[in-house]
Amino acid sequence: MFDQEKKIGYMITKTALKIKAGLNQLLKAGGIDITADQFELLMILREKEGLSQTEMAMLTSKDKTNITRILDILEKKQLIERRKNDYDRRTYNIFLTKKGKQHRSSLQQVLQRGNQRLAEGLTNEDINEFTRIIKIINKNLGMDITNDNFSQIKKE
C-alpha cells in the first residue's frame, strides 16, 4: 500500500482544493457574491481586458465550456460584457463593466488576505524555494509558469 500523503500530485491537488475553498470563504465573508472560479477570471480581466474566451481558457487551463459557463454567470451579474471582435466575427472579447471595475479594490483585498493566510509561518526563503520547486514541476508537465502569464497570449 502506498502512502498517498507523500505523493506530489495528491498533495498539490488537496492543497489546491483547500485554497479554492478558503478563497470562497474569504469572498463570502467579504460580502462578494462570486466564486473562486469567477474571481480568477475577474482578476485576469483586471490585468488585461479584451481577451477572447480562448485566451482566457489558455491562461486558466480551463476548457472553453467551463470558461463560457463562468462568463455567462459574470455577464448575468453585470460584471463583464462580451464584445464582437472587429477582425473575427466568431470571436468575442471580454471586458469588465463599470460594475465589474468597481469591484477591483475589494477583489485585490481578498487576494492580499488570501496570500497572507497562505504565507503564514513561511519565510521569504521558504516562499522562494516553493516557487522554484513549483516552476520545476510545471516545466516537467510542459507548462511555462512565469511572472508574466500574458506572455502566452499572441500579440495582434
The mean predicted confidence, pLDDT, of the chain is: 88
Please give the residue that has the higher pLDDT: either 64 or 4: 64
CB atoms within 10 A of CB 80: 23
Amino acid at 78: Q
Kindly state the average pLDDT of the residues 30-59. 93
The full 3-state SS of 46-69, as one line of letters, equals HHCCCEEHHHHHHHHCCCHHHHHH
Query: What is the maximal distance between C-alpha atoms in the chain?
Result: 58
Contact 41, 67 (CB under 8 A): yes
CB atoms within 10 A of CB 41: 24
pTM of the model: 0.82
**C-alpha cell read off for 98:** 463599470
**C-alpha cell read off for 20:** 479554492
Highest mean pLDDT among 7-11, 88-92, 121-125: 121-125
